[in-house]
Amino acid sequence: MVLELQKPRPIWQIMFSTHHTDVGLLYTITSIAFFFMGGALALGIRAELFFPGTQIIADSMTFNRIFTVHGTAMIFLFLLPFASGVGNYFVPIMVRYKDMAYPKLNAVAFWMIPPAGALIWLGFADFTWYATPPYSAIRSPGPSADMWIFAQKILGVSSVLGAINFIVTILKCKHPDLPLSKVPLLAWSFLSASLIVIVAVPTFAAALVMLLTDRLGVSGFFDPSKGGDPIAYQHLFWFTFHPEVYVLVIPAIGMMYEIIPRFSRKPIFSQSSGIFAFVMLSIVSFSSWAHHMYATGMSFTEKTVFMIGTLAAVPASGMHVFNFIATMWGGRIRFATPMMWAVGGIALFFSAGAGGVANAAMPFDFITHDSYWVVGHFHLFVMGTIAFGSIGFLYYMFPYITGRMYNETWGKIHFITAFAGTVMVFFTQHVLGLYGMPRRVFDYIPSPEYIIMNQIASVGAMIIGAGMVIWLINMIYSAGKGKEANMDDPWGLGGKYYFPHQAKNPHH
């Protein structure tokens, strides 16, 4: 691995490198930077909603821009690039190849992210991460909206390039002695997620071009006054972005598959059922996109079909949870920081999934749709599951990247604050939704229930924020001055385990 801080190199050597660990490091650091920027916006949102009325944000347009950029940045500039970073580090090692299949393409895919990030952050669009026409086509103020559209275009190309690279690396470059069924589940998760990207992303790419020409006034695909159909955009959008949810969650589950057996000191309960569940998830991810659209006036038959398609995703997700629990069962579990994050992530994954089943049931969706319930529900996935898996994995990777150990006590404190905060924010938001508070609002009715629940959520968000500051300090301090890690067995787990740095992987 890189061990940057033990053998320092000039920064431009890392930046212009095409080696997979260097590109992985660039992905990881960039995504974490965007995570803190997006998180700061989230704290701004929660501070504004602490009381009804105007608090710290001057007007509702600024507020709308803030939640739009928060959502876009967290999904496209934190979660996706972070997963790519982990994949870059570990996929070539796990399939025993010297690098990614196309190293230059890999570096190009990474270097598309900073300009796209700049477009999103400098534009600061206001039409939500979902950019529905007609609002986005005719009312949303430019040029910020156009900058957002171009940024998405660039990010789409970047993730397709990354996906092609992962698929070719795993299928074509794996060691001939290694059958696909023995490829570790983390690499399998990247294979499944990349296949989804290849199939799903082009649809949104088309929708973006149509949206842009609509904005330029030369077409009316989604503009009803020119004979277009705004619902068509929603179908194109969700056909990409419902599967995209699985693109995010599958690598996070793969990361947990790496952590859980290691810290339970037991092999994975069933590799084959893990693979089966990944493949199932990538197929059923395409059967449920329109469950976001029950309230757009869908017919009873359409709603029934998409409800069944949505429920079909549950058994495969349940198989992963079963696999995790069965792996831990009877194991000599060591609750080091990465394990705590993984187990916490699974618990929140389970609650998010349970909420999802309730949502999929058609009549209930008409209570929760576009309310704070939905905000709480999907944050349990993106924060509770995916970010928890990712942060846990970053703790896990830390010795391999830096050659040093993070501070275990502060790592645990970070987990406890984040877990408590996540429960406070997002469970409360579910209840807030049941009381009918709409999402994406700058202000709310000053009823006592709304006020107290918003305050619980805001306090929870501040607790998460404090934990993340602890994390940042821990990472930076330990990277320079932390205890040197025992590279054969950083957590003292004993036994013969396959550790990534032991792979024969010549550096440059």
Partner 1 sequence: MSGHSNWPEWIYVGVVICLLAYVGAEAWNVERLVEHTPADAEVIKVVGQQWFWTFEHADGTKEVGELHLKKGQPYKFEITAKDVNHSFNIHDYVILQDAIVGRVNTAWFVPDEAGEYIIQCREYCGLLHYNMRGTLIVEE
- Contact between residue 407 and residue 378 where contact means Cβ atoms under 8 Å apart: no
Q: Out of 7, 8, 10, 366, name the contact with partner 1 by CB under 8 A.
A: 366
Nearest to 426 by CA among 467, 357, 379, 388: 379
Nearest to 148 by CA among 75, 198, 86: 75
* Cα dist from 356 to 60, 102, 296, whole Å: 30, 38, 19
Nearer to partner 1, 118 or 180 (CB): 180
User: 23-61 burial by CB neighbour count: b if 16+ within 10 A, else e?
Assistant: bbbbbbebbbebbebbbebbbbbbbbbbeeeeeebeeee
| Nearest-angstrom CA–CA distance, 491 and 388 | 19
- Using CB under 8 A as the binding rule, the residues of this chain from 292 to 311 that contact partner 1 are 295-297, 300, 303-304, 307-308, 311
Nearer to partner 1, 270 or 505 (CB): 270
Q: Out of 51, 111, 124, 135, name the contact with partner 1 by CB under 8 A.
A: 135
| Nearest-angstrom CA–CA distance, 404 and 13 | 22
Q: Out of 322, 331, 347, 487, name the contact with partner 1 by CB under 8 A.
A: 322
# chain residues binding partner 1, by CB under 8 A: 62
Nearer to partner 1, 29 or 305 (CB): 305
Fill in the per-residue mask, 183 to 202: x = in contact with partner 1 (CB under 8 A), - = not in contact: --------------------
Question: Is residue 112 close enough to count as binding partner 1 by CB under 8 A?
Answer: no
Question: Is residue 284 close enough to count as binding partner 1 by CB under 8 A?
Answer: no
Rounded to 5 degrees, what are φ and ψ at 227?
A: 85, 10
Pick the stretch among 89-97, 369-377, 380-388, 392-400 that binds partner 1 (CB under 8 A).
369-377
What amino acid is encoded at 414 in this protein?
H
Fill in the per-residue mask, 249 to 268: x = in contact with partner 1 (CB under 8 A), - = not in contact: ------------------xx
- Contact between residue 109 and residue 89 where contact means Cβ atoms under 8 Å apart: no
Nearer to partner 1, 1 or 74 (CB): 74
Question: Is residue 318 close enough to count as binding partner 1 by CB under 8 A?
Answer: yes
Task: Look at the block and give the residue holding tokens 């260097």.
Answer: 22
Ordered alpha helix ranges (H), 361-436: 362-368, 372-379, 388-402, 408-422, 428-434
Pick the stretch among 3-11, 150-158, 367-375, 394-402 that binds partner 1 (CB under 8 A).
367-375
Contacts to partner 1 by CB under 8 A: 60-61, 64, 126-128, 132, 134-135, 138-140, 181, 224-225, 229-231, 267-273, 295-297, 300, 303-304, 307-308, 311, 314-315, 318-319, 322-323, 326, 357, 360-364, 366-367, 369-371, 435-436, 438-445
